[in-house]
Structure 1
Amino acid sequence: MTTGFYFDERCFWHSGGNYALTLPVGDLVQPLAAGGLPESPETKRRLKNLLDVSGLAAELTLRSATPADRSALERVHPADLLDRFKEMSDAGGGELGLRTPFGKGGYEIAVLSAGLATEAVRSVAKGDLQNAYALSRPPGHHCLPDWPNGFCLLANIAIAIETAKAEGLVDRVAVLDWDVHHGNGTEAIFYDRDDVLTISLHQEKNYPLDTGDLEHRGKGAGLGFNINIPLPPGGGHNTYLHAMEKVVLPALADYKPDLIIVACGFDASAFDPLSRMLATADTFRQMTKQVMASAQAMCDGKLVLVHEGGYSEAYVPFCGHAVIEELSGSAITADDPMAASLATRQPNARVEAFFAELIDEMADFFAKPPEGG
């Protein structure tokens, strides 16, 4: 099995603005010692560092990529947005949307981030690699066509999909988003289409506050091809695996994509400052194992994971390492130092039963033909 790992040091140089967590500094909001948004380079850099130190990086096909070209960007984003982004970037930076600050050169970094995702998808779709992980930064799943949003400046996965389609490499693509926040950008881009299945497994009403509802199932030709699985806080390891088994995997099996892409955020982990979901490194490992089995059954194992959120500098590297261990079939491990503690902190049996019942109800809901649109 050949697993690609796409990264570029320049993506670690993307800079956030004058924020304290997600609050603009000013009035009564003091700056944090670390400064900026929680979407910092350190979670990603430390993941790459851990891969190097453990020796797993040596078993991967390590690659960078060329930036996504303008024609690829314009398949998703209007030209006037791209022009404004470039002009602001050249002038020293700014903020185009909501919580999307960038410094000088931010445009070039974002285009490179999209390029990493695009090349990972291209290489897997062509059969050059069995599967791949793109350490894209800045992330992309919140970005709407005309409005950057939630740390996301360009819609990396959508750009990669549209490029693969334009090159005749895929017809049907499934996107599974297990970032803890709703994948509203990816959903919006493909909401009225049936050639891309979008599935978002997220903490309910975390971010954005007004998207991600169960009833939002697409419209027009896309009706029934958008699936939201909103979970209340505190779900934990077994809840995520149950949601995968009861909703996600059956949806993938019904759709039979040519390629599966995972919007791979690690912010559902128990140590993330922006979530309350209690997932562990093993949660992400087991979900990877599940989706790999689905990919093997329906699209020759063609699977790409594109990095999204995850804001615990200490814990994200162990989550990412577990995923890439599974993805590559490596015997090299980086044992989760918090595994015993997190096993104790998982929801009790009564709470897990509540979550299981809720997910079973969702599965029944999705088994019925969608209404409206």
Structure 2
Amino acid sequence: MSTAYISHRDSLEHYMGEYHPESPDRVKAIEDQLILSRIEPFLTYLDAPLATESQLELVHTKEHIKNIQMFVHENEYRVIDSDTKMNPHSYQAALRSVGASITAVDKVMSGEVKNAFACTRPPGHHAEPNRAMGFCFFNNIAIAAKYALEKYSLQRVAIIDFDVHHGNGTEMAFKDDSRVLMCSFFQHPLYPYSEVHENSPNMLNTPVPAYTDGKVIRQLVETQWLPKLREFKPEFIFISAGFDAHREDELGQMGLVEADYAWITRQLMNIADEYSHGRIVSCLEGGYHLSALARSVVAHLKELADLG
């Protein structure tokens, strides 16, 4: 079985301004690097469909969905917050991002592919059930996880978030939900300036200081994440795949490199092989230095596709 690569041209139409780091060039850089790395023939390419409102409602309130829909105006920008804007194409692109994550679940559960990577934008892990923020409109990974639980009657799913920023929206969606284990590290203090408090039983979120490097993160994964995942025995693993903890990315100040992302991916694949029938869905989150992002995604995909 192969690895699915799910995207859509609508992801390139969402645009928040000339100097905004969350730009269409992110997807273009990834796809260029896939060609240069010569791994594209080994991936199964799929177009992302549009998500339905009922799928959005798995995580988000009706009021939130309507508020986003109200911002859709022809030939106008609408400001959601100081970091987040919509153009006339943003809503459709956001629906494709959710649709990509839903399709990924279906394709993996059906056995058509071993695992899947959703390369769409906007990202999602900051989007809370009733609020868009931090470049995010709808929480792609949270919706996919909830969909897997409900559509396929799974009992336990894990969400791994290795973005440099805390996935506050994902935590809010699943805090105290015993069916979901969320493991993450994030630079602290850094946007969204989440409070550091004792984890709830299903949340293993570890703040780390600026300039934390891959050696420290690997130790964290080995001593904290892997034992917790083995204890939990997830039936499906979801990855909020942000690559902005890379040492070249200026939106954070951490020190990971491509080899670290490949190593983390391999550890998660080992857990998936042991407990989850190999089932993994990964969704693109952050990563804003174009070259570092593209190289890191390729390293991630090489592991998912067993090409490492």
Tell which has more relative contact order, 1 or 2 (C-alpha 8 A, sep 6+): 2
SS in 2 for 1:89: coil
Give the TM-score, by structure 1 length: 0.79
Is contact 2:5–2:45 with CA below 8 Å preserved after alignment? yes
Tell me the equivalent position of 1:278. 255
- 1:28-75 C-alpha deviation (Å, 9 max, x unpaired): xxxxxxx33211121221111111233211110111121111101112
- Aligned pair partner of 2:31 in 48, 55, 69: 48
Question: Contact 1:125/1:259 (CA < 8 Å) preserved in 2?
Answer: no
CA-based RMSD of the aligned residues comes to 1.4
- Measured in 2, the distance between the counterparts of 1:216 and 1:65 equals 38
Residue by residue over 1:119-139, the C-alpha shift from the partner in whole angstroms, topping out at 9 and shown as x without a partner, is 112211232211111112100
- Whether contact under 8 Å (1:173, 1:258) holds in the other structure is yes
Partner in structure 2 of residue 290 of structure 1: 267
The CA deviation at 1:284 is: 0.4
Tell me the equivalent position of 1:254. Answer: 231
Which consecutive unaligned segments of at least 5 residues does structure 1 have?
18-34, 219-223, 332-373
Give the aligned residue type for 2:88: K
Alignment-derived partner of residue 217 in structure 1? 199
- Match in the other structure for 1:338: none
Task: State the partner residue of 1:12.
Answer: 12
Within a 5 Å distance, the mapping from 1:25-40 to structure 2 comes to 35-40=18-23
Deviations for 1:169-215, whole angstroms, at most 9, x for unmatched residues?
5321100000000011000010121111111211111111133x2x3
Residue of 325, 331, 334 corresponding to 2:302:
325
Distance in 1 separating the partners of 2:180 and 2:170: 10
- 1:86 is displaced (CA, Å) by 1.5
Cα deviations by residue, 1:249-297 (Å, 9 ceiling, x for unpaired): 1111111111001100000001101111110011101111111111111
CA contact (8 A) 1:267 1:274 kept: yes
Q: How does 1:153-164 map to 2 (within 5 A)?
A: 153-164=137-148
Trace 1:37-116 onto structure 2 (pairs within 5 A): 37-91=20-74, 92-116=76-100
CA distance in 1, matches of 2:297, 2:224: 24
Aligned partner of 1:357 in structure 2 is: none
1:131 aligns with 2:115: yes
Change beyond 3 A, Cα 1:194–1:226: same
Q: Does 1:140 align with 2:124?
A: yes
CA contact (8 A) 1:262 1:304 kept: yes
Per the alignment, residue 27 of structure 1 pairs with none
- Name the structure 1 match of 2:167: 183
Identity %: 32
Change (3 A) 1:300 1:165: same
